[in-house]
Amino acid sequence: MFSSKEKFKHTFLKRLEMLFGKSFSESTPRDHYQTLGHMIREFVSNDWITTNERYLATKNKQVYYLSIEYLLGKLLRQNLMNLGVEGIVEEGLGELGIELTGLEELEPDAGLGNGGLGRLAACFLDSLASLNLPGHGHGIRYKHGLFEQKIVDGYQVELPEQWLRSGNVWEVRKADLAVSIPFWGKVESRNENGRLVFRHLHAETVTAVPYDVPVAGFNTNTVNTLRLWNAEPAQFPFHKDVLKYKRETEAISEFLYPDDTHDEGKILRLKQQYFLVSACIQSILRSYRKQHSSLEQLHEYVCIHINDTHPVLAIPELMRILIDEEGLDWEQAWHITTNTISYTNHTTLSEALEKWPVHIFQPLLPRIYMIVEEINERFCRQLWEESPGDWERISQLAVIADHYVKMAHLAIVGSFSVNGVARLHTEILKEREMKPFFHLYPDKFNNKTNGIAYRRWLLKANPALSALITEKIGSSWTQSAHELTQLLQYQNDHTFLRQLEKIKIDNKQKLADIIYKQNGVAVDSMAIFDVQVKRLHAYKRQLLNVLHIMYLFNRIKEDSSYEMTPRVFVFGAKASPGYYYAKKIIKLINTVADKVNNDPQVGDQLKVIFLENYLVSLAEKIFPAADVSEQISTASKEASGTGNMKFMINGALTLGTLDGANVEIHELVGDDNIFLFGLTAEEVLHYYRHGGYESVEYYHLDQRIREVVDQLVNGFFPDVYNEFEPIFDSLLGENDQYFVLKDFAAYTNTQEKVGEAFRDTLGWQQKSLINIAHAGYFSSDRTIKEYAKDIWGIRPLY
Ligand SMILES: *Cc1c(COP(=O)(O)O)cnc(C)c1O
């Protein structure tokens, strides 16, 4: 149906009539979107079935990627691109008077994630399929993804996100593959022929129904599966209050928790976690049993990867099935489990390290808790045998301590691989945060620097740049990202650099149009577009950026002869609804924006824009239009970052600290093509351990700092008199935990260098080109190849 334009048009019109019982002239754009979606899904289903049959027939090892989040964004254009039918569809629709871009706008973003972690999972799915690797995702089909953000009066307002309102064309409900998940109840043990057997009695069961989404690889026939689980009441609920049961059951897959860095400790969250792992392990074992008679070789054919600790209950759940249902003994079950599970650590922020109070955990998951206790006891015994009497070490490393289950400890003890997500992050894990575990299990720890689905973030998001690259070096870079280094031969080619510049300005103009439409502010596409888009968090230091903008404003006001390279500062960020401080920063950005954008003396030199509701589809419009990529986290706090990579491949220059993957960006592009400033991770960690930083000193010594910090509370923003006191207090009263004032001078100086460098337009484009050329390293294809080889032991199907 996509083999020619004519065939496509014919099928499209027929399908439209069949689906909606309307003639073309009566149909709406939504009908067109749905029709096209159905056609694509039907088109992939042949390859989808074939892929599954081949996996069954070849008995190849399979990897299952478990993640509580998938930030997929829109799938229409990606599917068309990966299937190689984008051109035919775009032209065919065009002849019917339908614009493909218009249909894309109708597709809701699948926003089942908070930020980097969920987006990484989505990028990995794309690379797995594109590399023909047998890898499938499992997640939760949240009815409401991450909240929709509105800015009202400068404040963030959250609305429930509604991506399923008009259905989801990409999913297939598989009711026949539903499984039951038990909660609550109690465990009974009996002695059967000298063996203790356990039964979970009076459990409240929930039905998990899978919805499968095909994941088609780029330019290949492989179609893998993302299986999203929906929570539904069991058919015959054993429950006194059926309505209450129904409500509580459906709540499990109702909302995504809107916080990516804070462990909330809510029982519903733990329910979600067990719901996901139990459903998916039952489903994995069911397919495994179709090929194999015994579970004893499970680890040779299956790898289960947990994305952060949220799915860590996969470890006790697999133990439970092997022991209680398969009748294996503990040692055997432990051998299989610890050779099946691998784990990625995403953070060293202590507030984000999950731990669950026993009094919540035990009643909800009684049998799972028993198994975790047993894991803990055996582990502590091992520690004791190694160094008897060292109670401190035992309590520090235990899986259960002080009435809490420590999920990261469970993950390390129960898996065969622990990886960090950028080289610096892995070093910090090994040498600081998880040091005793590293000494215990040196072979488990390894690094896998994150990557991005660059076909989405460059090929699809920036078609003009992609076309220029293909014109110069051919098209094979779309499958081998490292070939982008061939662009280096053009670094002194002025014609080429001018072409790059023109593409950037065009992209900036497109973003300027969006900004005008959304914020009513006219910005000049010749100015520097200086962008910070990411979740709002104190450690990411949006505050440093705003304080610097306030300083620039003061400078312009105080010195009418001051001339700066015109700048547009763009922000996009959601704050977790309960994160009071982060919301204050959003209000501050908008308050500063109001003041700056309406000051006639400032004019076009300085504009500040907060784009509301930052999500994947908006991100795709922002990255191609950025000149400067703000990656200014307190060093040691950002595990990797992936936004930094999306900026880089679109030719933005990084202005950042030596944190996360910025370190590796710096190594690739060299000192001249990146703007680094500020404390190093080593220095930050030294201050945390030994003290020695007094933020008030910087306040008193640096007049620029004193002025902007005072302006937070002295009536400089007259309409919001007390609003920013908490920010003022965090900087001075609480000694500025994120070293904003400490790094202020270095940041300001470096920003000046950015402004100067931009004036040399060809020089700037050359730096930009060098960044693009080296960004291939950050393809998630590279990352996934490393996982496949070093951790999972899987091979391509074809
Ligand atoms: C890439 C991405 C992120 C992660 O950005 P960081 O700067 O790495 O924190 C968050 N949200 C969206 C929508 C993204 O596309």
**Residue tagged active-site, from 32, 346, 504, 537:** 346
What per-residue confidence (pLDDT) applies to 235? 82
642 in catalytic set: yes
For residue 115, the CA-to-ligand 1 centroid distance in Å is 5
Closest by Cα among 345, 352, 275 to 314: 275
Q: Which of 258-272, 308-322, 469-483, 741-755 has the lowest mean pLDDT?
A: 258-272
Closest by Cα among 317, 291, 294, 293 to 304: 317
Q: Please state the three-class secondary structure of 105-138 as a single string.
A: HHCCCEEECCCHHHHHHHHHHHHHHHCCCCEEEE
646 in catalytic set: yes
What per-residue confidence (pLDDT) applies to 265? 79
Conformation bin of residue 73: beta by default, left when phi > 0, alpha when psi is -120 to 50: left
Reported as half-sphere exposure (CB side, CA atoms, 13 A), residue 408 has a value of: 23
Which pairs with CB-CB distance under 8 Å and at least 24 residues apart come from 48-53? Answer: 48/214, 48/223, 48/225, 50/221, 51/221, 51/222, 51/223, 51/224, 51/797, 52/225
Q: Is the pLDDT of residue 263 over 80?
A: no
Conformation bin of residue 357: beta by default, left when phi > 0, alpha when psi is -120 to 50: beta
Q: Is the pLDDT of residue 87 over 80?
A: yes
Give, in words, the CATH class of 457-778.
Answer: alpha beta
* Mean per-residue pLDDT of the chain: 96
The enclosing H or E element of 392 equals: helix 391-397
d(CA 594, CA 607): 9
Among the residues of 418-478, which ranges form H helices? 423-428, 435-440, 454, 463-473
What per-residue confidence (pLDDT) applies to 185? 96
Mean pLDDT of 397-405: 97
Reported as half-sphere exposure (CB side, CA atoms, 13 A), residue 785 has a value of: 11
What per-residue confidence (pLDDT) applies to 193? 87
Per cent of the chain over pLDDT 90 is 94
Reported as half-sphere exposure (CB side, CA atoms, 13 A), residue 213 has a value of: 24
For residue 535, the CA-to-ligand 1 centroid distance in Å is 7
Q: Please state the three-class secondary structure of 577-596 as a single string.
A: CCCHHHHHHHHHHHHHHHHH
485 in catalytic set: no
Q: What is the pLDDT of residues 336-374, one digit of tens each?
A: 999 999 999 999 888 888 999 999 999 999 999 999 999
Closest by Cα among 671, 668, 687 to 679: 687
Residue minimizing CA distance to atom 1 of ligand 1: 643
What per-residue confidence (pLDDT) applies to 577? 96
Nearest atom (ligand 1) to Cα of 540? 9
What per-residue confidence (pLDDT) applies to 798? 75
d(CA 616, CA 120): 12
Q: Which CA distances in Å does 511 have to 330, 387, 514?
A: 59, 61, 5
Query: Is the CB of 112 within 6 Å of ligand 1?
Result: no
Are 313 and 273 in contact by the 8 Å Cβ rule? The answer is yes
Higher pLDDT, 309 or 56: 309
**Residue tagged active-site, from 508, 540, 541, 587:** 540
Higher pLDDT, 266 or 97: 97
Tokens of 229: 């689980």
Query: Is the CB of 643 within 6 Å of ligand 1?
Result: yes
Mean pLDDT of 417-439: 97
For residue 66, the CA-to-ligand 1 centroid distance in Å is 20
For residue 60, the CA-to-ligand 1 centroid distance in Å is 33
What per-residue confidence (pLDDT) applies to 18? 94
**Residue tagged active-site, from 425, 548, 646, 742:** 646
**Residue tagged active-site, from 338, 642, 748, 783:** 642
Query: Is the CB of 115 within 6 Å of ligand 1?
Result: yes
For residue 639, the CA-to-ligand 1 centroid distance in Å is 13
Measure CA 167 to chain center: 24
Mean pLDDT of 533-551: 98
Nearest atom (ligand 1) to Cα of 73? 13
Residue minimizing CA distance to atom 10 of ligand 1: 115
Query: Is the CB of 116 within 6 Å of ligand 1?
Result: yes
Strands 204-216 and 223-233, how do they pair?
Answer: antiparallel
Residue minimizing CA distance to atom 15 of ligand 1: 616
7 in catalytic set: no
534 in catalytic set: yes
For residue 615, the CA-to-ligand 1 centroid distance in Å is 8
Strands 172-173 and 204-216, how do they pair?
Answer: antiparallel
Conformation bin of residue 636: beta by default, left when phi > 0, alpha when psi is -120 to 50: left
What per-residue confidence (pLDDT) applies to 59? 87
Give, in words, the CATH class of 59-74+109-450+784-792.
Answer: alpha beta
In this prediction, residue 298 has a pLDDT band, given cuts at 50, 70 and 90, of very high
Q: Name the packing angle between helices 76-83 and 116-130 (round to 10°).
A: 20
Q: Is the pLDDT of residue 239 over 80?
A: no
Query: Is the CB of 642 within 6 Å of ligand 1?
Result: yes
Q: Is the pLDDT of residue 153 over 80?
A: yes
For residue 333, the CA-to-ligand 1 centroid distance in Å is 38
In this prediction, residue 397 has a pLDDT band, given cuts at 50, 70 and 90, of very high
Query: Is the CB of 119 within 6 Å of ligand 1?
Result: yes
Q: Which of 569-573, 618-622, 634-638, 720-724 has the lowest mean pLDDT?
A: 720-724
**Span(s) in the chain for CATH 3.40.50.2000:** 59-74+109-450+784-792, 457-778
Query: Is the CB of 615 within 6 Å of ligand 1?
Result: yes
What per-residue confidence (pLDDT) applies to 91? 96
Mean pLDDT of 412-430: 98
Q: Is 406 helix (H, G, I), strand (E, B) or coil?
A: strand
> How many C-beta atoms lie closer than 10 Å to residue 446's C-beta?
16
Place of tokens 């995403």: 346
Q: What is the pLDDT of residues 667-678, one digit of tens each?
A: 999 999 999 999
Query: Is the CB of 656 within 6 Å of ligand 1?
Result: no
Q: Which residues contact 578 (CB under 8 A, 6 or more apart)?
A: 259
Mean pLDDT of 419-445: 97
Q: Which of 231-235, 472-476, 572-576 has the lowest mean pLDDT?
A: 231-235
Q: Is the pLDDT of residue 207 over 90?
A: yes
Tokens of 31: 């009908």
Residue minimizing CA distance to atom 4 of ligand 1: 116
For residue 564, the CA-to-ligand 1 centroid distance in Å is 30
Query: Is the CB of 121 within 6 Å of ligand 1?
Result: no
For residue 642, the CA-to-ligand 1 centroid distance in Å is 6
Mean pLDDT of 687-700: 97
